[in-house]
């Protein structure tokens, strides 16, 4: 995976850590090691204090998840395009899971991978992107043998019937898919046509009536109509078309 035609320059696997994202962010902040982050991959066999968006916990037992963070250089890519990195990661997770297990997952904007029957889809993976100039650190938590503790509505590949899913195969597929998406994103300096089309094809949010909880406590309800060229969610409230760059979305039935 490193030095085999992919863009990853360093791969570290640790037995245990609090948070792979926090570790790469700390490396990025170090004067003598900051340059190591772009192209770096850090995998933990057991992440004890994993974080989702807004500081929510995302941790399970040893070797039950893929808990991984990668560093992506954002040099020469407009800031407005950085939001697509977490969306591209979601597409890579969906494609890797399908290739290895045959399970068809989908994407809930902005950073959740859902799988299972339509009436009871559970959260299979979460994604967290954090800026560490001149890179962005992207964390992935994929539930393989077990869902994380204390996360309502979560599911796992084993729970979905893929009891023999191999974490090594999943990591290789995920890093390959993610590298492919990042190379195209960087060349296009944003979402290339294939990424935009594939995200929309995998989206479970577009076309769905949703409630969007916004930063600062605001709330909007409407139908998600699409994703714009910056990766933002477009929402038809019946009175206006709102463009949402950040927030939590709940799918309404």
Residue-wise pLDDT for 109-141, tens only, equals: 999 999 999 999 999 999 999 999 889 999 999
Could you check whether 10-202 and 209-251 share the same CATH topology?
Answer: no
Q: What percent of the chain is predicted at pLDDT more than 90? A: 82
Of residues 183, 158, 50, the one with CA closest to residue 97? 158
Beta bridge partners of 241: 236
> Which homologous superfamily is 10-202 in?
Bira Bifunctional Protein; Domain 2 (3.30.930.10)
Beta bridge partners of 115: 122
Joined tokens for residue 169:
């195969």
Beta bridge partners of 43: 13, 68
Q: Which of 9-18, 29-38, 165-174, 196-205 has the lowest mean pLDDT?
A: 29-38
Classified by CATH at the fold level, domain 209-251 comes out as: SH3 type barrels. (2.30.30)
Please answer whether residues 145 and 64 qualify as being in contact, where contact means their C-beta atoms are separated by less than 8 angstroms.
yes
Residue-wise pLDDT for 153-204, tens only, equals: 899 999 999 989 999 999 999 999 999 999 999 999 999 999 999 999 999 9
pLDDT for the residue numbered 147: 87
Q: How would you label 68-87 residue by residue, b for 16+ Cβ within 10 Å and e otherwise?
A: bbbbbebeebeeebbbbbbb
How much is the average pLDDT of 44-63? 76
For residue 106, pLDDT beyond 70: yes
pLDDT for the residue numbered 118: 92
Phi, psi of 120 (to 5 degrees): -150, 45
List the chain domain ranges.
10-202, 209-251
How much is the average pLDDT of 1-20? 84
For residue 213, pLDDT beyond 60: yes
For residue 54, pLDDT beyond 70: no
Please answer whether residues 99 and 90 qualify as being in contact, where contact means their C-beta atoms are separated by less than 8 angstroms.
no
For residue 34, pLDDT beyond 70: no
pLDDT for the residue numbered 1: 56
How much is the average pLDDT of 232-251? 95
Question: Rounded distance, CA 234 to CA 27, Å?
Answer: 36
How much is the average pLDDT of 227-235? 96
SS3 track for the chain: CCCCCCCCCEEEEEEEECCHHHHHHHHHHCCCCHHHCCCEEEEEEEECCCECHHHCECCCCCCCEEEEEEEEECCCCCHHHCCHHHHHHHHHHHHHHHHHHCCCCEEECCCEEEECCHHHCEEEEEEEEEEECCEEEEEEEEECCCCCCCCCCECCCCCCCCCCCCHHHHHHHHHHHHHHHHHHHHHHCCCCHHHHHHHHHHECCCCCEEEEECCCCCEEEEEEEEECCCCCEEEECCCCEEEECCCEEEECC
Q: How would you label 167-190 residue by residue, b for 16+ Cβ within 10 Å and e otherwise?
A: beebbebbbbbbbbbbeebbebeb
């Amino acid at each position: 995976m490193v030095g085999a035609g992919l863009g990853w320059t360093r791969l570290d696997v640790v037995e245990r850590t609090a948070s792979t994202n926090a570790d790469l962010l700390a490396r990025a902040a170090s004067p003598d090691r900051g340059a190591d982050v772009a192209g770096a991959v850090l995998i933990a066999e057991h992440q004890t204090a994993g974080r989702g968006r807004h500081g929510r916990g995302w941790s399970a037992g040893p070797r039950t998840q893929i808990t991984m963070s990668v560093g992506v250089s954002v040099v020469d890519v407009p800031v407005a395009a950085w939001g697509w990195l977490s969306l591209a990661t979601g597409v890579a997770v969906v494609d890797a899971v399908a290739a290895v297990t045959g399970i068809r997952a989908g994407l809930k904007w902005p950073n959740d991978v859902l799988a299972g029957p339509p009436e009871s889809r559970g959260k299979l993976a979460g994604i967290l992107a954090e800026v560490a100039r001149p890179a962005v650190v992207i964390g992935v938590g994929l539930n393989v043998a077990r869902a994380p503790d204390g996360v309502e509505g979560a599911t796992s590949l084993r729970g979905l019937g893929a009891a023999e899913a191999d974490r090594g195969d999943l990591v290789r597929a995920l890093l390959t898919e993610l590298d492919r998406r990042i190379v195209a994103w960087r060349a296009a300096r944003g979402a290339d046509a294939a990424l935009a089309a594939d995200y929309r094809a995998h989206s479970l949010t577009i076309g769905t009536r949703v409630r969007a909880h916004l930063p600062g406590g605001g709330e909007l309800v409407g139908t998600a109509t699409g994703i714009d060229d910056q990766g933002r969610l477009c929402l038809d409230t019946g009175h206006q078309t709102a463009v949402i760059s950040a927030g939590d979305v709940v799918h309404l039935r």
